[in-house]
Amino acid sequence: MREVIISPSILSADFMKLEDEINSVKRAGVEWIHIDVMDGHFVPNITIGVPVVKSIRKKTDMFLDTHLMIENPEKYIEPFAKAGADLITFHIEACKDEGHVLEVIRLIKSFNKKAGISVKPNTNIKEVFPYLKDLDLVLIMTVEPGFGGQEFIHECAMKIPVLRENSDEKLIIQVDGGINNVTAKICTSLGAGSLVAGSYIYNSENIEKAVENLRK
């Protein structure tokens, strides 16, 4: 079985010591960092933008998994790609039609980046089916996007096997929101290949142990 990719969300990290916070998950053997970008329109919160991604890129060789929770994603693909994002995931709900989705995917690919699409809890997973052959990852939100530290919505996890059955094994199924040692197990046993975890990792006393618990 392929190893599960853990992607710690720095939304729950201490921004005054971001470099240390990133290095501590790296020491725990993690290769990805999840960066939550929010614009105050698509979601009711504002977080990290392009300059922060650029600064992170200068300090680490880790894989930068960038989760755009923003309107008009097409306007921001180039800046995030140039800032050093490795994977750019945008929301299907931020797109007006199929042509719009395809345009954003094409843009991401034009910068040689991996492309992901995300679905909110109330979006049917079938909505992503037309794009699967063009995508590297599908992110299934297991909370309403906007804030860290929310409770896992169990029904959302049932999208995982539906997507797994309808996709190539190369497609990474990522889950995000309320992931802890218990919900991680539920998601991986249903077929998730990547787990985003913010508060479970960064609010824990021992980061290495928290990462180890997720791996198990």
Residue numbers annotated as active site: 36, 176
- Positions in 20-39 near ligand DX5 (CB under 6 A): 34, 36
188 is a contact residue toward ligand DX5 (CB under 6 A): no
Letter for the amino acid at 197?
A: A
Q: Is 146 in the site for ligand DX5 (CB under 6 A)?
A: yes
Q: Is the CB of 36 or the CB of 136 nearer to Zn ion?
A: 36
Residue 104 CB: number of other CB atoms within 10 A? 26
Query: Please, which residue, 166 or 203, has the CB nearer to Zn ion?
Result: 203
Instruction: Please name which of 155, 135, 133 lies closest in space to residue 143, comparing C-alpha atoms.
Output: 155
Applying the rule CB under 6 A, the residues between 66 and 95 that interact with ligand DX5 are 67
Q: Indicate which of Zn ion, ligand DX5, none lies near residue 178 (CB less than 5 to 8 Å, by partner kind).
A: ligand DX5
Interacting positions 151-180 with ligand DX5 (CB under 6 A): 176-179
SS3 205: coil
The one among 145, 192, 195, 211 contacting ligand DX5 by CB under 6 A: 145
d(CA 187, CA 22): 24
Q: Give strand ranges (E) for the chain.
A: 5-8, 32-38, 63-69, 87-91, 114-119, 137-141, 172-176, 194-197
200: partner contacted, choices Zn ion, ligand DX5, none (Cβ within 5-8 A by kind):
ligand DX5
Residues 101, 92 contacting (CB under 8 angstroms): yes
Task: Name 55's Cβ contacts closer than 8 Å, sequence gap at least 6.
Answer: none
Binding mask 98-137 for ligand DX5 (x = CB under 6 A): ----------------------------------------
φ, ψ of residue 66 in degrees (nearest 5): -105, 120
Residue 8 interacts with ligand DX5 (CB under 6 A)?
Answer: no
Backbone angles phi, psi at 195, to 5 degrees: -120, 125
177 binds, among Zn ion, ligand DX5, none (CB under 5 to 8 A by kind): ligand DX5
Q: Which residues bind ligand DX5 (CB under 6 A)?
A: 9, 11-12, 34, 36, 67, 143, 145-146, 148-150, 176-179, 196-200
